[in-house]
């Protein structure tokens, strides 16, 4: 790094922002196969949090690739860079006192671990959306699995590219068998238990 670049310490701190927001800041990192319900869960949870007056933002995989990561493809290196950028962005939002929700397949354990290292203590919550590939294929409204099996989409997670199942996620949700409302209740309960939301 250039020696002329010096970190500026602001007078408005994360702690002051959290006090103003009346909730702790955190990143909820939703991971799982395509079709496992990451985006659905993240947006539904954000709606509930917004109604409670929380400051939130959802980083959705497809949306981010329209702007911040529009220059990246889906090779292993590009996927790693995609996740690195999102991790750094989520870190800024946590510093801003917000609850950041990220919905990315983020298939590689090493990449998720590298993002986790950016955060202190309990600031990073990995949420594993557990859903079988068979069920994900049934939900395939975009037709991606069908195209991947036909060889039209290279490096597709679960078909031609691996997915490293989280070993010890902070939260594991059975999105295959639980209803959406049940999943949201599980998440809200976890946030209260962890002291992120008030009782």
Give the integer Cα–Cα distance in Å for 96 and 13: 8
Rounded to whole angstroms, what are the CA distances from 31 to 4, 7, 53, 123, 150? 38, 32, 25, 16, 25
pLDDT at position 140 is: 86
Quick check: 2 pLDDT over 80? no
pLDDT, tens digit, 9 for 90 and up, residues 7-50: 667 788 888 999 989 999 999 999 999 999 999 999 999 999 99
SS3 7: coil
Rounded to whole angstroms, what are the CA distances from 141 to 54, 83, 137, 144, 150? 31, 24, 9, 8, 16
Quick check: 55 pLDDT over 70? yes
Tokens representing 175 are 């999105």
Marked catalytic residue, from 106, 160, 161, 172: 106
Rounded to whole angstroms, what are the CA distances from 184 to 24, 30, 43? 18, 13, 10
**132 is a catalytic site residue:** no
Mean pLDDT of 84-109: 93
SS3 17: helix
**pLDDT mean across residues, the chain:** 90
Give the integer Cα–Cα distance in Å for 115 and 103: 14
Give the integer Cα–Cα distance in Å for 104 and 68: 14
CB-based contact 8:95 (threshold 8 Å): no
Q: What is the pTM of this model?
A: 0.89
Structural domains of the chain sorted by starting position, each given as residue range(s) with its CATH number in brackets: 14-132+163-192 (3.40.50.300)
The one-character DSSP state at 161 is B
């Amino acid at each position: 790094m250039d020696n002329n670049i010096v970190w500026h310490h602001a007078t408005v701190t994360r702690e002051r922002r959290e006090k103003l927001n009346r909730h702790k800041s955190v990143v909820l990192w939703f991971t799982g196969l395509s079709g496992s319900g990451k985006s659905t869960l993240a947006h539904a949870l954000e709606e509930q949090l917004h109604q409670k007056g929380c400051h939130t933002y959802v980083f959705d995989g497809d949306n981010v690739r329209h702007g911040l990561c529009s220059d990246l493809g889906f090779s292993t290196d590009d996927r790693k860079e995609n996740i690195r950028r999102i991790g750094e962005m989520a870190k800024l939002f946590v510093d801003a006192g917000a609850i950041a929700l990220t919905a990315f397949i983020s298939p590689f354990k090493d990449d998720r671990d590298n993002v986790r290292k950016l955060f202190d203590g309990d600031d990073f919550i990995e949420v594993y959306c557990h859903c079988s590939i068979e069920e994900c294929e049934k939900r395939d409204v975009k037709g991606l699995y069908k195209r991947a099996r036909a060889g039209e989409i290279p490096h597709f997670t679960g078909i031609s590219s691996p997915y490293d199942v989280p070993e010890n996620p902070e939260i594991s949700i059975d999105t295959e068998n639980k209803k959406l409302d049940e999943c949201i209740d599980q998440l809200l309960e976890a946030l209260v238990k962890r002291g992120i939301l008030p009782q």
